[in-house]
Structure 1
């Protein structure tokens, strides 16, 4: 020990008493200098140790502070396009649509039956199958609330735009959603109206139904015209996206672009971009009713409890309160439950089919028995008819024979008794 301290202080030999005198300031002058060196070294080590411990203790919190703050959704834009398909997007020059997909997620959605734009729009905005919302044709009443109606209940403005005669009657019966009908069916006129309304009051929910591709082009083989129409559609969508960027809300807007099967296609393209969603992600096929629950979750809203759509957990960006693994597990869990429900439904339908087959066989057997009985009765009726005819014939013959007998008897008696 003495040799150790002696080597440190440059002194040959050192005793504990000497060290105590040195630390108290009563030692030699050279030792006073070393005393302060020891004190400062100890304080520095203590501060360094405290800093390391504090950094280790608050490491996760510090990591959270360094993470970018998640952006909240300020606007929700839903765009549905008549006749749009993935093949059309891929065959044309669509920088705006593809750019939107690059900043979000792209997938294909299974539509609903009956395959028309009224039913698809009702399912898209409600997150429910037609069997749940019961809106299968214009004039009927929705059985559950639409996502825009729920947004209106929070005191936020909602707008839906379409050309004249294409907003399904009875779809927006809650009264909170303001609807606008544009005389022209051109995409340019519809987007211009949407931009004008956004310039006026920036509604939280803005829904636009675009005419998309004309029916006469969909049924023709003129691919050049179809490509030209898709290019124009992309340009018009780009105008709306530019408006959002001009107001500085593009990165804070949830944008949903979908096709509309229009009675010809059951699968429609879907592009979603906005806060909380992944970027440049291609997802497996989903259902059109899954979009509203996902949008409601991202916006912090409560979807209608009757909705049977599922949240697209695999579309959410990790790091915003969720781990990627947990998101995938939740999606797998939902799909497994849905698969179990569908299997149960298949089994139920199979049992119903079997019961219907048995009932059909019973009905066929009863029908054959009834037919046999009817044929037997008809045979009896025919026999009775012949018996009646025969009896009538006998009656006629009897009457004729009696008449002839009366005549013969008359002439015989007249000749016998009157002698002429």
Structure 2
């Protein structure tokens, strides 16, 4: 009996120890995971721009590498920009400013050399480079920043590969802190004469393969876990082949992964101008001039000084303020619209009055012209009658006095 009681007591103690031990192990594992996330140091930033690609395109194509990054990081979409040019998109993406601030000649003149994320990183001692296909329209835009371009003429099917190969080569040599890649293959395919939807999707698949090549290179160098990667597109309604602007055609893919960011979440829609302020916060620089975009607090990983609730509250607060600003802007635009309509009505009224005056003057001119013509006709008739009278009188007098 005593043996049974002793065995029962030992069994209970063992069970308690097992539970406590399991709890301690789970806590230890959770702490280890937390420490592992905390220990990830941000060493590099990559911006990969898939030119001519919208969220709709990405959903329609087979892109396993991009989808894998999206599944392990943050997958969302962002409203694009107008005017519908890649240059305006790059300014919005890298400066966080609405394109309206950069219209006219300014959009083509050193816009990224001052106040953009890569320019600020350069000034803080962290090098930045861009890799693109070498088009001349980028020359003024990137003036003042380090840029490598594909120099030789490349087939459309191989242009993305050439850009990524050049990027891998330069990264292996120089290891810049920031690297921006512009992959134009999809857009060039879409705009080619024999373009079809199938060919465009195949081009997007080729771009995905090149993104995968870059990611594998980062893994081979042991830098993938320490890299902040942003993948987006630069499609607009013109690129999408649509005659009318729609939200769907101007929604861009936005995929982010790296230290300081959440993992495995589907994020609500944002704006492309929100990317620069968010990345600037993670890399520790202050965007100047102040951006129009907002920090995507709901993308950030909760850590020291920030709880999940605090991050969401801050995001909601800024969105509420932005909503109020938007309503204020709508009221202002409606007021301007009403003022313009009033001015337009006044101008139309003045135009009608001027037209009435012109018509009255024209009628008066026509009456005077008629009178003048009548006087002319009367004078001519008078001269004809007088002339005829003289002739008749001449013949009468001649017959009377000359007798022949």
Q: Return the TM-score normalized by structure 1.
A: 0.78
User: Equivalents in 1 of 2:314, 2:361: separation in Å?
Assistant: 68
| 1:110 and 2:79 aligned | yes
Deviations 1:41-67 (A, max 9, x none): xxxxxxxxxxxxxxxxxxxxxx99x84
* Shift of residue 70, structure 1, vs aligned partner: 4.5
Residues 141/389 of structure 1: CA separation in 2 closer, same or farther (3 Å cut) = farther
* Shift of residue 403, structure 1, vs aligned partner: 1.6
Which runs of no fewer than 5 residues in structure 1 stay unpaired? 1-62
| 1:158 and 2:128 aligned | yes
> Alignment partner of 2:70: what SS?
helix
* Shift of residue 269, structure 1, vs aligned partner: 0.3
8 Å CA contact 1:182, 1:189 repeated in 2: no
> Alignment partner of 2:89: what SS?
helix
8 Å CA contact 1:290, 1:311 repeated in 2: yes
Deviations 1:366-417 (A, max 9, x none): 2222222222211111111110110001111111122223333434444555
| 1:239 and 2:191 aligned | no
Deviations 1:327-367 (A, max 9, x none): 11111111111111111111111111111111222222222
| 1:215 and 2:190 aligned | yes
| 1:359 and 2:359 aligned | no
Question: Hey, what does 1:10 align to over in structure 2?
Answer: none
Deviations 1:260-293 (A, max 9, x none): 1153231110101111110011111111111011
1:32-47 alignment, distance < 5 Å: none
Question: Hey, what does 2:69 align to over in structure 1?
Answer: 100
* Shift of residue 119, structure 1, vs aligned partner: 1.3
Which runs of no fewer than 5 residues in structure 2 stay unpaired? 1-30, 241-248
Residues 216/170 of structure 1: CA separation in 2 closer, same or farther (3 Å cut) = closer
Residues 89/399 of structure 1: CA separation in 2 closer, same or farther (3 Å cut) = closer
Deviations 1:91-122 (A, max 9, x none): 44433212212332111111111122221112
* Shift of residue 319, structure 1, vs aligned partner: 1.8
> Alignment partner of 2:47: what SS?
strand
| 1:74 and 2:43 aligned | yes
User: Equivalents in 2 of 1:86, 1:310: separation in Å?
Assistant: 21
1:20-419 alignment, distance < 5 Å: 67-68=35-36, 69-134=38-103, 139-142=108-111, 145-165=115-135, 168-173=138-143, 175-183=144-152, 184=154, 185=156, 186-213=159-186, 214-215=189-190, 222-223=197-198, 225-262=199-236, 263=238, 264=240, 265-418=249-402
RMSD of aligned residue pairs (Cα, Å): 2.6
* Shift of residue 147, structure 1, vs aligned partner: 1.2
**Larger RCO: 1 or 2 (CA < 8 Å, sep 6+):** 2
8 Å CA contact 1:70, 1:276 repeated in 2: no
> Alignment partner of 1:257: what SS?
strand
Q: Return the TM-score normalized by structure 2.
A: 0.81
> Alignment partner of 1:398: what SS?
helix
Large movers: runs of 4+ above 6 Å: 135-138
